[in-house]
Amino acid sequence: MTTVRIDHASRWFGNVVAVNDVTMDIGPGVTGLLGPNGAGKSTLINMMGGFLAPSTGTVTLDGEAIWRNESVYRRIGVVPEREAMYDFLTGREFVLANAELHGLGAGEAQRALATVEMEPAQDRKIATYSKGMRQRVKMASALVHEPDVLLLDEPFNGMDPRQRMQLMDLLRRMGGEGHTVLFSSHILEEVEQLASHIEVIVAGRHAASGDFRRIRRLMTDRPHRYLVRSSDDRALAAALIADPSTAGIEVDLQEGAEGALHVQAVDFGRFTALLPRVARDHSIRLLTVSPSDESLESVFSYLVAV
């Protein structure tokens, strides 16, 4: 059982608070660190990886401080988000160098390259690799010593769907074998497909934690706002407001000649089924239906307020 414990950790850069009093335990299995860009995910992963000291609080691996403690790297593997690598090396030379720095050899390097299916391109210079190939070689370099804990910062960036599936399978397998795997992402679907446990970070704060179904429910059950244009806005508004899935409707006469409705729905599933049915029953033609607050930031902001 290997656990990374973040205990009331904060980190600020000058006046900017990147991570604000976060407490969480990352245990065996796959954990997704979810949050919009700039939320503090990388800062948190850098603290867990020992590359950044917490301004206050502690970050430990099974009770051992991570910051300024090189020995923890026998048990931690890190896949950074940054693209920079030793581009003048071939993939094989790079992974071998990483193995040697762990006191291992060519056998372990070859095994790691095989795990990420990079053997066919291993003798090409890293400078010639695609983003997905670089990501896989970074992965191999982190796996070479079979770490108990694997920290990955936005690992799916730049990967094509097949590579994404392969990496997800690999991480799932590692999680199943009892490794502690933490990856960050700003894409809910990625996290949902892979993580058994989710930690949500918004604006440096720990917004939610738990099983992905619970988080998903929190996200989908929040009030949704839609912009609706139709052949008869007032009739449609009257029919929609009669249903409890709709909390409020504003008739906007400024939105062009046809006008528009701003609808606030409180039951996402029910409303999306209701709207087309009501339109059909009243012979109203729907011209536009678009969510007006679907950005991830608004979803995450809602979670913070919950």
Partner 1 sequence: MYDPTVARLTYRALLGRRRAAILLVLPALLLLIAAGVRAFNGADDQMAAGVLGGFAIATMVPLIGVIAGTGAIGPEIDDGSIVYLLAKPVKRPVIVVTKLVVAIAVTMAFSALPTFAAGYILNGNGQQIAVAYTVAALVASIAYAALFLLLGTVSRHAVVIGLVYALVWETLFGSLVPGARTLSVQQWSLALAERIGGEGMITSEVGLPLAVALLAGVTLLATGYAGRKLRTLTLAGEE
Single out the residue of 4, 24, 34, 43 in contact with partner 1 (rule: CB under 8 A): 43
Nearest to 109 by CA among 125, 127, 90, 131: 90
Q: Count the alpha carbons within 13 Å of 69 in the hemisphere toward its beta carbon.
A: 18
Residue 53 binds to partner 1 (criterion: CB under 8 A): yes
Smaller CB separation from partner 1, 79 or 261: 79
Residue 131 binds to partner 1 (criterion: CB under 8 A): no
C-alpha to C-alpha distance for 238 and 197, rounded to whole angstroms: 42
C-alpha to C-alpha distance for 45 and 208, rounded to whole angstroms: 17
Residue 74 binds to partner 1 (criterion: CB under 8 A): yes
Residue 101 binds to partner 1 (criterion: CB under 8 A): yes
Find the part of the chain contacting partner 1 (CB under 8 A) among 23-31, 33-41, 240-248, 266-274.
Answer: 33-41
Number of residues written out for the chain? 306
Q: What is the largest CA-CA distance in the chain?
A: 74
Smaller CB separation from partner 1, 34 or 237: 34
Structure tokens at 292: 């007006």
Residue 15 binds to partner 1 (criterion: CB under 8 A): no
Residue 107 binds to partner 1 (criterion: CB under 8 A): no
C-alpha to C-alpha distance for 137 and 182, rounded to whole angstroms: 18
Measured CA distances, 172 to 158, 177, 240 (Å): 20, 9, 44
Residue 89 binds to partner 1 (criterion: CB under 8 A): yes
How far is residue 291 CA from its own chain's centroid? 22
Smaller CB separation from partner 1, 45 or 170: 45
Q: How far is the CB of 175 from partner 1 (least distance, A)?
A: 21
C-alpha to C-alpha distance for 268 and 257, rounded to whole angstroms: 29
Residue 153 binds to partner 1 (criterion: CB under 8 A): yes
Single out the residue of 24, 33, 59, 78 in contact with partner 1 (rule: CB under 8 A): 78
Q: How far is the CB of 224 from partner 1 (least distance, A)?
A: 28
Residue 289 binds to partner 1 (criterion: CB under 8 A): no
Quickly count: other Cβ atoms within 10 Å of residue 78's Cβ: 20
* Beta-strand pair 56-61/4-13: antiparallel
Angle at Cα 161 formed by Cα 159 and Cα 163, nearest 5°?
55
Residue 86 binds to partner 1 (criterion: CB under 8 A): yes
Q: How far is the CB of 114 from partner 1 (least distance, A)?
A: 20
C-alpha to C-alpha distance for 93 and 85, rounded to whole angstroms: 12
Smaller CB separation from partner 1, 73 or 268: 73
Residue 125 DSSP label: B
Structure tokens at 306: 């919950």
Smaller CB separation from partner 1, 71 or 254: 71
Q: Which helix (H) or strand (E) holds 147?
A: none
Q: What are phi and psi of 196, to 5 degrees?
A: -85, -20
Residue 168 binds to partner 1 (criterion: CB under 8 A): no
Find the part of the chain contacting partner 1 (CB under 8 A) among 51-59, 164-172, 213-221, 232-240.
Answer: 51-59
Residue 48 binds to partner 1 (criterion: CB under 8 A): no
Find the part of the chain contacting partner 1 (CB under 8 A) among 92-100, 217-225, 265-273, 274-282.
Answer: 92-100
By CB under 8 A, name the binding residues for partner 1: 13, 18, 37-43, 45-46, 49-53, 68, 70-71, 73-74, 76-78, 80-82, 84-86, 88-89, 97-98, 100-103, 141-142, 153
